[in-house]
Structure 1
Amino acid sequence: MTRVRTVLGDIPAEELGVCDAHDHLFLRSPRLPGQELDDLAAARSELAAFRAAGGAAVAQWTPHGMGRRAGDLPELSRATGVRIVCATGLHQAAHYDPGVLDRLRGGRLAELFVSELTEGIGTTGVRAGLIKVAGGFHGLDAHARRTMAAAAEAHHATGAPIAVHLELGTGALDVLDLLCGESGVPAERVILGHLNRSPDPVTHREAAASGCWLAFDGPSRAHHATDWRMPEAVRALAEAGFGDRLLLGGDTVTAGARSVDGGPGMPYLLRRVRQRLVQAVGADLVDRVLTEHPGRAFGTDWS
């Protein structure tokens, strides 16, 4: 049976419910000093607001070493009634202190990822349900290639989906060449994030034709200039026959972006983005993108 691995255990994929397929409850990075997502009470309030808007599940893409606070996620899930999927994996090298990267490079990344997927993260007992990795701007550096190769190895050992940060929405085809072409990961096990940040319809269609998942996330303060293009991009993919490959997320990465701190936050995905997309592609497809698709994208048989 296809199941989604949440922080409270595995559930049937069809029970996931309305899902924010790409977001963050906790996140710390040297690139975002003073903007950390590290407030437990605020995270609880944000999840409660998302639940009140009709949300049922959130996939947190915060990977290893970036303050994901895995040990706090089960109680947050129980307190709010929102299912949470946690990530293993690594982001770009720039998001880590050099000492952290040196330590990680001293071991086998694939073994770390597999351990966090199957045994648990540290002493928390919380098992990750996805592998997060990241590309670069229109290319893949040595760090990206190493982490993606490890992610592919971990996928082959567990069946876990691989979620990819595309820098400014670029490099999608390079990522697919590496993960699916060189490393043999089935395209339907790959989720490409931030496609709205580079609204190139040709690349979108080529990526979708591979069978991978295309995640459109926002609104994003840093990339607001392309947010308004998202309905157009989603409609173009649906009209080209790729409506069944789409995911939606909020991607809240700073404290000021939370709804409880004055930003749009997680509820905005359901409060405004949903309605705007209904105008573009109809309520039936949007409902499937928010409910059926995440279960398929994050679900696996967990070998």
Structure 2
Amino acid sequence: MRTVRTVLGDIPPGQLGVTDAHDHLFFRVPALAGQELDSPGAAEAELRTFHELGGRSVAQWTPFGLGRRAADLPAVSRASSVHVVAATGLHQAAHYAPKALDRLRGRAAEFFVSELTQGLRPGDDPDAPPGTARAGMIKVAGGFHALDAHARYVMTAAAQAHHATGAPIGVHHELGTAAPDVLELLCGKLEVPPSSVILGHLNRSPDPRAHRELAASGAFLAFDGPSRANHATDWRLLDCLLALAEAGHIGQLLLGGDTTTAGARAATGGGPGMPYLLHTLRPRIERELGVRAAEAVFVANPARALSAEWIDG
């Protein structure tokens, strides 16, 4: 039976409800120094605002080693009444000190499996005792139009962890690129079913032809980080979604907020934050694509993309 693995336990996919399929409650990288997402109170406030608009679940894509504050996730989930799906995995090598990556060299797959089946490590020590919350997905990352050795290593480990557990894999695509390379590796060579792969940040490369080619693989396509002035997002987003819907791929589309800085939160910063998905984008999608399409994008599709037939033995 398929279930969604949240930080408070496994739930039926039908209980996920309206979902932000790619976001961050806690996040810390050197490139965004001074804008860290590290306040449990601010995370709870953002989730409460999201909940007031009908949001019921958030997939938090922050992987190991980037300040995900795993020990705080169950509490903010309970306090806000929003389901949280947490991630194991690793981001690009540039976001880590070399010594941190060395500690997982040769055992990344084993580590991912342990976080999916036993519990998330509460800090940045991969050898720390696991906490009570388990990961519900694996986060990996490609590079700009290419996959370097680190990306290939992490994706190989993620594929091994998927085959051992059934977990879905979410992929960061740098500026929306290298998705064909990812599919060739993950779904071709490493035999991960496309239905277990979420291709993220495709809005950052708004090429409808390329999107249709990716959709033909059967993978989920995530459009996230709306209303960013430095990306071609909002003014092309609906055209991209409409083109995919007309090509018969409405059942593969996901939307997320991808809030990565404290200033981008709605409840405690300048926004637009998680609520933007529901108070601005959802009404526009309903007008352009129809209510049933919006229901698919925000409810039915995430329930399939984030669920798995878990193997815990």
Provide TM-score, normalisation by structure 2. Answer: 0.94
Q: Is the 8 A contact 2:140 2:170 kept in 1?
A: yes
Question: Aligned to 2:140, what secondary structure does the other structure show?
Answer: strand
Q: Is the 8 A contact 1:169 1:198 kept in 2?
A: yes
- CA–CA distance in structure 1, aligned partners of residues 227 and 83 of structure 2: 23
Q: Which residue of 1 aligns with 2:119?
A: 120
Q: Is the 8 A contact 1:172 1:203 kept in 2?
A: no
Q: Is the 8 A contact 2:5 2:85 kept in 1?
A: yes
- CA–CA distance in structure 1, aligned partners of residues 28 and 278 of structure 2: 26
Q: How does 1:230-249 map to 2 (within 5 A)?
A: 230-249=237-256
Q: Is the 8 A contact 2:226 2:233 kept in 1?
A: no
Using the TM superposition, give the Cα deviation of residue 222 of structure 1 relative to its aligned residue in structure 2, in angstroms. 6.0
Q: Does 1:274 align with 2:282?
A: yes
Provide TM-score, normalisation by structure 1. Answer: 0.98
Using the TM superposition, give the Cα deviation of residue 188 of structure 1 relative to its aligned residue in structure 2, in angstroms. 0.4
Of 2-11 and 199-208, more deviation after overlay is shown by 199-208
From the two aligned structures, give the one with the greater helix fraction.
Answer: 1
- CA–CA distance in structure 2, aligned partners of residues 144 and 18 of structure 1: 31
Q: Does 1:205 align with 2:221?
A: no
Runs (5+) with no aligned partner, structure 2: 122-129
Runs (5+) with no aligned partner, structure 1: none
- CA–CA distance in structure 1, aligned partners of residues 291 and 191 of structure 2: 35
Q: Does 1:19 align with 2:19?
A: yes
Identity across the alignment (%):
65
- CA–CA distance in structure 2, aligned partners of residues 171 and 90 of structure 1: 17
Of 117-126 and 46-55, more deviation after overlay is shown by 117-126
- CA–CA distance in structure 1, aligned partners of residues 302 and 118 of structure 2: 23
- Residue by residue, what CA displacement relative to the aligned partner does 1:119-139 show, whole Å, maximum 9, x if unpaired? 111231210000000001011
Q: Which residue of 1 aligns with 2:107?
A: 108
Q: What RMSD in Å do the two structures reach over aligned CA positions?
A: 1.0
Using the TM superposition, give the Cα deviation of residue 290 of structure 1 relative to its aligned residue in structure 2, in angstroms. 0.5
Q: How does 1:208-219 map to 2 (within 5 A)?
A: 208-219=215-226
- CA–CA distance in structure 2, aligned partners of residues 148 and 30 of structure 1: 23
Q: Is the 8 A contact 1:133 1:162 kept in 2?
A: yes
Q: Which residue of 2 aligns with 1:129?
A: 136
- CA–CA distance in structure 1, aligned partners of residues 275 and 231 of structure 2: 17
Question: Aligned to 1:126, what secondary structure does the other structure show?
Answer: coil
Question: Aligned to 2:151, what secondary structure does the other structure show?
Answer: helix
Q: How does 1:140-179 map to 2 (within 5 A)?
A: 140-179=147-186
Q: Is the 8 A contact 1:88 1:130 kept in 2?
A: yes
Letter in 2 for 1:214: L
- CA–CA distance in structure 1, aligned partners of residues 233 and 19 of structure 2: 23
Structure 2 residue corresponding to 1:187, chosen from 194, 201, 204: 194
Using the TM superposition, give the Cα deviation of residue 203 of structure 1 relative to its aligned residue in structure 2, in angstroms. 1.3
Using the TM superposition, give the Cα deviation of residue 220 of structure 1 relative to its aligned residue in structure 2, in angstroms. 4.8
Letter in 1 for 2:82: V
Using the TM superposition, give the Cα deviation of residue 227 of structure 1 relative to its aligned residue in structure 2, in angstroms. 2.8
How many equivalent residue pairs? 302
Q: Does 1:289 align with 2:297?
A: yes
Q: Which residue of 1 aligns with 2:124?
A: none
Letter in 1 for 2:242: R
Using the TM superposition, give the Cα deviation of residue 221 of structure 1 relative to its aligned residue in structure 2, in angstroms. 2.9
- CA–CA distance in structure 1, aligned partners of residues 300 and 233 of structure 2: 26
Q: Which residue of 1 aligns with 2:308?
A: 300
Letter in 2 for 1:277: I
